[in-house]
């Protein structure tokens, strides 16, 4: 995942580094050769996502974010042995980064937000000459990415912390892979020692009930189903009742795919929510989705709510920009990614690890 993005980030970083490290030499005064009083690499040099950006560190004294004049640069260099990064220095690299993000399918609005953040963090920030250039940029980028990707969630801990049966509802638009994801998650949970029952809540699409039924059979799980066209709330209610009666740990509720602009269908989902009171609503979307990912995620979050996101078909589009778009739009953690057609093709998602990996050295 994120491979293309990683390559892009790496090249952008390199360019940013060259533009930035050339800076003091251009000004011609007190170049870094003379003096390195501070220990080299004073701040976190390795990509530690949690660290604050350097701006926060150096905000003693004047914190002018305006375009720094030449004199100011000199003063800053001589007195503080720092130099100021101006917007101009990084503009080209940033527009490169923008294209990179867009090409990785990060939605337009999310790209905008990330760029603004990196720009804010970098421009006008003063950097002590001895500081590793790498850390300034890495921190700015990882901070920006982390702020959109949010904290991870451990599903097993979550389930352990809730009263049994823990009800998990899957929602999303058509064709993102909800039913397959339900089967995969069921398999994942079973492997981790939990008992699972599935509710065949997609009563609309022809063949959907058969599909989940076959999955249940293969995985040896109970699938509660009604006829095609019946009320999904009733199916899922029955599933919860079954789980209570049989002491099942987790209930997974499948639902029919629906578009967020269909008021009636969204109301139906709201009804399901009222009836079964899910502990966790998982919104399923696909990695190949472009800008629409943001719009629909927002709509789903608004009308039926969502607690977590699962991204499917990552094997199809390993760039993973949709993850960033959705996370940016709704600020909900990504719990799983689907990476293939088999039951085991599911990976828990850890934003910190991903971002660290994304920014670590060469691609």
Q: Of the candidates 360, 310, 315, 362, which has an alpha carbon nearest to the alpha carbon of residue 342?
A: 315
Token pair for 320: 């993973």
| Cβ-proximal residues to 152 (8 Å cutoff; 6+ apart), any chain | 333, 334, 335, 348, 349, 350, 351, 352
Q: Which is nearer to other proteins, 33 or 264 (CB)?
A: 264
Q: Which tokens is 273 given?
A: 């929510």
State how far the Cα of 211 lies from the Cα of 179, in Å rounded to an integer. 8
**Count of residues binding other proteins (CB under 8 A)?**
49
Nearer to other proteins, 57 or 205 (CB): 205
Going residue by residue from 308 to 337, which x/- string records binding to other proteins, judged by CB under 8 A? -----x-xxx-x-xx---------------
**Per-residue x/- track, 72-111, other proteins (CB under 8 A):** ---------------------------x--xxxx-xx---
Of 27, 58, 80, 213, the one binding other proteins by CB under 8 A = 213
Relative orientation angle of helices 3-27 and 351-359, to the nearest 10 degrees: 50
40, 71, 206, 245: which one contacts other proteins (CB under 8 A)? 206
Query: Applying CB under 8 A, does 268 fall inside the site for other proteins?
Result: no
Q: Which is nearer to other proteins, 165 or 177 (CB)?
A: 177
Q: Phi then psi for 31, rounded to 5 degrees?
A: -75, 165
CA separation for the pair 47, 149 (Å, rounded) = 16
CB-CB contact of 202 with 254 (8 Å): yes
| Sole binder of other proteins in the list 19, 135, 139, 176 (CB under 8 A) | 176
- Residue of the chain from 14, 32, 72, 291 that contacts other proteins (CB under 8 A): 291
Q: Is 254 in the site for other proteins (CB under 8 A)?
A: no
Per the DSSP assignment, residues forming a β-bridge with 238 are none
The footprint of other proteins (CB under 8 A) covers: 99, 102-105, 107-108, 173-177, 204-215, 228, 259-261, 263-264, 286-293, 295-296, 299, 313, 315-317, 319, 321-322, 341
């Amino acid at each position: 995942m994120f491979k293309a993005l990683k390559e892009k980030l790496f090249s952008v970083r390199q360019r940013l580094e060259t533009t930035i490290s050339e800076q003091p030499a251009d000004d011609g005064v007190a170049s870094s050769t003379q003096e390195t009083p501070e220990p080299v690499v004073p701040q976190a040099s390795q990509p530690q996502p949690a660290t604050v950006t350097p701006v926060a560190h150096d905000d003693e004294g004047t914190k002018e974010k305006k375009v720094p004049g030449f004199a100011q640069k000199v003063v800053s260099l001589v007195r503080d042995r720092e130099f100021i990064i101006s917007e101009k220095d990084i503009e080209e690299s940033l527009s490169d980064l923008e294209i990179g993000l867009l090409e990785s399918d990060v939605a337009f609005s999310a790209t905008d937000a990330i760029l603004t953040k990196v720009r804010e963090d970098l421009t006008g920030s003063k950097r002590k000459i001895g500081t590793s250039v790498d850390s300034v940029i890495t921190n700015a980028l990882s901070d920006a990415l982390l702020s959109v990707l949010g904290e991870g969630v451990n599903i097993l801990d979550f389930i352990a912390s809730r009263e049994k049966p823990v009800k998990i509802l899957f929602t999303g638009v058509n064709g993102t892979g909800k039913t397959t994801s339900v089967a995969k998650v069921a398999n994942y949970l079973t492997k981790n020692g939990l008992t699972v029952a599935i509710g065949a809540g997609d009563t609309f699409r022809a063949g959907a009930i058969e599909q989940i039924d076959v999955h249940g059979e293969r995985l040896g799980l109970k699938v509660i189903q009604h006829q095609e066209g019946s009320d999904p709330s009733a199916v899922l209610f029955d599933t919860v009742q079954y789980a209570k009666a049989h002491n099942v740990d987790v209930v997974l509720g499948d639902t029919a795919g629906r578009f967020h602009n269909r008021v009636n269908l969204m109301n139906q989902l709201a009804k399901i929510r009222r009836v079964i009171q899910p502990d966790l609503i998982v919104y399923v979307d696909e990695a190949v989705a472009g800008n629409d990912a943001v719009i629909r995620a927002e709509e789903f979050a608004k009308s039926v709510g969502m607690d977590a996101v699962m991204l499917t078909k990552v094997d199809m589009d390993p760039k993973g920009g949709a993850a960033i778009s959705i996370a940016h739009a709704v600020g909900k953690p990504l719990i799983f990614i689907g990476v293939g057609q088999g039951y085991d093709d599911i990976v828990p998602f850890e934003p910190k690890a991903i971002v660290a990996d994304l920014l670590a050295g060469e691609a």
